[in-house]
Structure 1
Amino acid sequence: MSSVAWIAVASLGAWGWLLLGQGFFWRTDQRLPRRETPAVWPDVAVVVPARDEADVLPLSLPSLLAQDYPGRAEIVFVDDGSSDGTGEVARALSERHGGLPLRVAAPGEPEPGWTGKLWALRHGMALAGARDPAYLLLTDADIAHRPDSLRELVAAAHANGLDVVSQMARLRVVSGWERLVVPAFVYFFSQLYPFRWINSAGARTAAAAGGCVLLRAESARRADIPCSIRRAVIDDVSLARAVQRSGGRIWLGLADRVDSVRPYPRFGDLWRMVSRCAYAQLRHSVLLLVGTVAGLALVYLAPPVALFTAVATGDAAAAWAGGLAWAVMTGTYLPMLRYYRQPLLLAPALPFTAALYLLMTVDSAVQHYRGRGAAWKGRTYARPEAAPDR
């Protein structure tokens, strides 16, 4: 066989493994597990870190204020050094909409060794802890919750003895670039962290989705969160690992009641979302970067390249292997497109999207070595940690 055919066969073999041996990552059926009504609903504190979020708060914060929760709950809103009046907007929305009581706090600039979001969470969790809640709901300022979201999260944690219940919020998909990039973002995340592996008994894989994390307060104290992960840029995965290491049980799945309202109308916005932490996920390792680029090329780019080359040269073996690998890839992407209610005709374009992610990952490394890594809302973390051991 030709070298092109051998590469196509290798790609097909990789897709055989991904299809059956990677926790069925491509399925979208990991939703909230069994729920059970507690005899007494526990107290919950909702902690919302926010930096320059005045524009999205009118779309998200009222949904938290309107939570239909049978027990006692409050919102601790932490204004993380905003320059756009975020704290004032939060207070005004609370006065206008009523609902759950809301406190606004401002911790000031982070101390050395802390990332901004975790510094804000530290302050908010400390304020919430003064009232000794049983659970903490850590949710981002751009996340909107259905009225029963908090109730369902607590019922799932109670019924299954879970220390973390996290949902991957359904991201906004409106613009053309969002349609092309966003469903693939969740697809790639679930490939890296298969939800079934995370949710199985005795799991070794740990991850969470930072937009919606229900955390048992006792588990947070046992894992020393957020102090133990204070330098992490990918804080959600770090949080899940810390809880798992301390003996806690984790659950992660796709959301039906939680949505992100943050828009990414321009391609540059999506590029920055991915590239700001992609190299941190690779632990700033050149070897991991090279391996990731090679892996993406073999798994996602080789099938269409092999097929088109085979058609031009008459290489039947390369055409067969490349075409079948592309077909398997396309099939695994269909459930995610259905979840996002997007045209299924986008599925064959996954190799193009993967090429964009490859370039974003390389750009993340370039920005890191230029001292601009992990830049977010006016803050830059030159050498952040992806998921520290402590």
Structure 2
Amino acid sequence: MSTIAWIAAVSLAAWVWLLLGQGFFWRTDQRLPRREDPGVWPDVSVVVPARDEAEVVPLSLPTLLAQDYPGRAEIILVDDGSGDGTGDLARELSGRYGGLPLTVVSPGDPEPGWTGKLWALRHGIALARARGQERAQGEPEYLLLTDADIAHAPGSLRELVAAARTNSLDLVSQMARLRVVSMWERLIVPAFVYFFAQLYPFRWVNRASARTTAAAGGCVLLRTEAAARARVPDSIRQAVIDDVSLAGAVRRSGGRIWLGLAEGVDSVRPYPRLGNLWRMVSRSAYAQLRHSPPLLAGTVAGLALVYLAPPLTLCAGVLSVDAVAAWAGGLAWAVMTGTYLPVLRYYRQPLWLAPLLPLTAVLYLLMTVDSAVQHYRGRGAAWKGRTYARPEAAPES
């Protein structure tokens, strides 16, 4: 066979393995597990880290205030040095809508060795536990850690707690449905979820004995006892990819975790331009590769072989009348397209976007390379005015 045919054959073999051997990552049926009414509903504290979120808080916070939860629940919004009046706006919204009680606190700038979000979570969790200890009922049994751009359906908290209680789970995380309105969002956002599931197959994460661990940081219900046992967020205080680090800390301490796609949990943050999405991905892509040049090189080569080779070898095979290359490349592209269809259906997007996945993969490849370039320029994981040059796991105290 020709060199092009060999490349096409290897790419096809890779896609057959991904289709059958990577935890059926392409399926979208991992939703909240079985749920039963616990009878007595436990106390919950909702902790919302927020930095310069005045644009999205009016769309998200009212959905938390309006939660239909049978037990005691409160909201603690941690204003992480916002310069746009996020904290005052949150208080105004609470006064306007009522609902669950809201407290807004400002912890000040993070200490050295902390990322901003985890510093905010530390103060919110500490306040929730301290308030619980002051009450006769004790600490809240659960903490809902949710981002400021996440809107929740009225029964979201009830469903999360019921799933955790029914299945004896210490961490229940739902990957919020991201906004898909603009052209760039349609092209990039569903692929973000697709690539995440390929890297962390939900079925593998949800096995009790699995080594694969992950969570989706926008919506995490965490048992307070499990948080204390895992020493979070202190034990992961430097993590830029905080959700995966959180899940790993909970599992290592003996906790049971679950991850799936959301129903009634949606991000309201807009990404209207390519630059917005580019920054979202590139700020943490190289951290995901542990700042390793060999891993970066392997990732670039792997993306090229798996996503770019199928259409390129198909075209090359047709032009050079190389039947093996054309057939192998075409079949690999067909399998790729087929695995992407369920995610597009989940996002209610037109299915003709599926064959464009190689183009999207090129964009992700460039974002990853750019993430490494920014790291070596000293800009690291820049986000909302803060830069984390080389985030690593926090050392043991």
Q: Compute the TM-score of the two structures, normalised by the length of structure 1.
A: 0.99
User: Is 1:106 equivalent to 2:113 in the alignment?
Assistant: no
* Superposed displacement of residue 388, structure 1: 5.8
* Superposed displacement of residue 389, structure 1: 7.9
* Percent of matched pairs sharing the same residue: 80
Matched residue, 1:83: 83
Matched residue, 1:315: 322
Structure 1 residues 280-295: aligned runs within 5 Å: 280-295=287-302
Matched residue, 1:275: 282
* Superposed displacement of residue 314, structure 1: 0.5
Q: 2:205 aligns with which of 174, 195, 198?
A: 198
Matched residue, 2:267: 260
The number of residue pairs the alignment matches comes to: 389
Matched residue, 1:359: 366
Offset from partner CA, 1:145-168 (integer Å, 9 cap, x none): 000000000000000000000000
Offset from partner CA, 1:349-384 (integer Å, 9 cap, x none): 000000100000000000000001110000000111
Alpha-carbon distance between aligned partners in 2 of 1:202 and 1:148, rounded to the nearest angstrom? 30
- SS of 2:204's partner is helix
User: Is 1:48 equivalent to 2:55 in the alignment?
Assistant: no
Alpha-carbon distance between aligned partners in 2 of 1:312 and 1:389, rounded to the nearest angstrom? 56
* Superposed displacement of residue 201, structure 1: 2.4
* Superposed displacement of residue 333, structure 1: 0.1
Alpha-carbon distance between aligned partners in 1 of 2:342 and 2:390, rounded to the nearest angstrom? 37
Amino acid at match of 1:126: A
Q: 2:169 aligns with which of 159, 162, 175?
A: 162
Structure 1 residues 163-182: aligned runs within 5 Å: 163-182=170-189
Query: Runs of 4+ in structure 1 displaced over 3 angstroms?
Result: 387-390
Structure 1 residues 1-390: aligned runs within 5 Å: 1-130=1-130, 131=132, 132-385=139-392
C-alpha RMSD over aligned residues: 0.8
* Superposed displacement of residue 293, structure 1: 0.4
- SS of 2:174's partner is strand
Amino acid at match of 1:105: V
Q: Compute the TM-score of the two structures, normalised by the length of structure 2.
A: 0.97
- SS of 2:110's partner is coil
Query: Retained in 2: the 8 A contact 1:49–1:139?
Result: yes
Offset from partner CA, 1:172-209 (integer Å, 9 cap, x none): 00000000000000000000000000011211110000
Alpha-carbon distance between aligned partners in 2 of 1:388 and 1:289, rounded to the nearest angstrom? 23
Alpha-carbon distance between aligned partners in 2 of 1:55 and 1:301, rounded to the nearest angstrom? 38
Offset from partner CA, 1:40-94 (integer Å, 9 cap, x none): 1000000000000011001000000000000000000000000000000000000
- SS of 1:76's partner is strand
Amino acid at match of 1:281: Q
Alpha-carbon distance between aligned partners in 2 of 1:171 and 1:388, rounded to the nearest angstrom? 30
Amino acid at match of 1:287: P
- SS of 1:284's partner is coil
Alpha-carbon distance between aligned partners in 1 of 2:23 and 2:100, rounded to the nearest angstrom? 39
Amino acid at match of 2:123: H
Alpha-carbon distance between aligned partners in 1 of 2:151 and 2:274, rounded to the nearest angstrom? 23
* Superposed displacement of residue 311, structure 1: 1.0
Amino acid at match of 2:324: A
- SS of 1:15's partner is helix
* Superposed displacement of residue 39, structure 1: 2.1
In structure 1, stretches of 5+ residues that fail to align are none
Amino acid at match of 1:310: G
Offset from partner CA, 1:17-52 (integer Å, 9 cap, x none): 100000000000000000011121000000000000
- SS of 1:254's partner is strand
Alpha-carbon distance between aligned partners in 2 of 1:28 and 1:356, rounded to the nearest angstrom? 24
Offset from partner CA, 1:215-265 (integer Å, 9 cap, x none): 000000000000000000000000000000000000000001100000000
- SS of 1:380's partner is strand
Matched residue, 2:136: none
Offset from partner CA, 1:307-326 (integer Å, 9 cap, x none): 01111110100001000000
Amino acid at match of 2:46: V
Alpha-carbon distance between aligned partners in 2 of 1:347 and 1:287, rounded to the nearest angstrom? 30
- SS of 1:351's partner is helix
Alpha-carbon distance between aligned partners in 2 of 1:66 and 1:115, rounded to the nearest angstrom? 30
Alpha-carbon distance between aligned partners in 2 of 1:226 and 1:271, rounded to the nearest angstrom? 27
Query: Retained in 2: the 8 A contact 1:238–1:388?
Result: no
Alpha-carbon distance between aligned partners in 2 of 1:134 and 1:257, rounded to the nearest angstrom? 23
